[in-house]
């Protein structure tokens, strides 16, 4: 079959066969009748995932991305850091806005 690749994942115990070009670290994951996913053992070992560990899930284009909460937090922190120009302090800007609003309220309430 054209576009088919076979590969072996160490520790998985059998060859994986899929249509299309697939990297050796990719494996098929099936969605169960209740929408549950089982992460194959070689992938869990590679990520050192422990039973009961929580992962964050998000959709990116047509992909499901699973990541640890600390990785998600780091990604969001980098996005915010990149969005704020260097030398700008959002805290200082917020405080200045609050103080200006307080002065306006005091002026409006004064007889």
22 inside domain? no
- Domain presence at residue 7: no
Instruction: Judge whether 13 lies within some domain.
Output: no
With respect to residue 75, please indicate whether it lies within any of the assigned structural domains: yes
Please indicate, yes or no, if residue 8 is contained in any of the structural domains.
no
Q: Where do runs of H (alpha helix) occur along 11-110? A: 41-47, 69-83, 90-109
pTM of the model: 0.54
The CA-based angle 68-73-74, given to 5 degrees, is: 100
Number of domains in the chain: 1
Q: List the domain range (segments joined by +) for residue 72.
A: 28-109
* Domain-located, residue 11: no
Residue 34 lies in a domain: yes
pLDDT in tens, the chain (111 residues): 344 444 444 544 444 444 444 455 688 888 999 999 999 988 888 889 999 999 999 999 999 999 999 999 999 999 988 888 888 888 999 999 999 999 999 988 765
Q: Cα–Cα distance between 11 and 65 in angstroms, integer?
A: 24
How many other CB atoms are there within 10 angstroms of residue 95's CB atom? 11
Specify the CATH number for the domain of residue 60.
2.10.260.10
- Say what the pLDDT of residue 50 is: 94
């Amino acid at each position: 079959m054209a576009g088919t690749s076979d590969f072996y994942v160490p520790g998985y115990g059998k060859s994986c066969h899929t249509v299309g070009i697939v990297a050796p670290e990719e494996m098929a994951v099936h969605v169960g009748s209740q929408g549950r996913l089982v992460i194959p053992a070689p992938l869990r070992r590679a990520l050192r995932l422990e039973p009961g560990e929580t992962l964050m899930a998000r959709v990116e284009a047509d992909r499901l991305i699973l990541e640890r909460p600390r990785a998600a937090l780091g990604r969001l922190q980098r996005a915010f850091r990149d969005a704020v120009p260097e030398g700008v302090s959002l805290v200082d800007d917020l405080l200045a806005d609050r103080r200006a609003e307080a002065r306006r309220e005091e002026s409006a309430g004064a007889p």
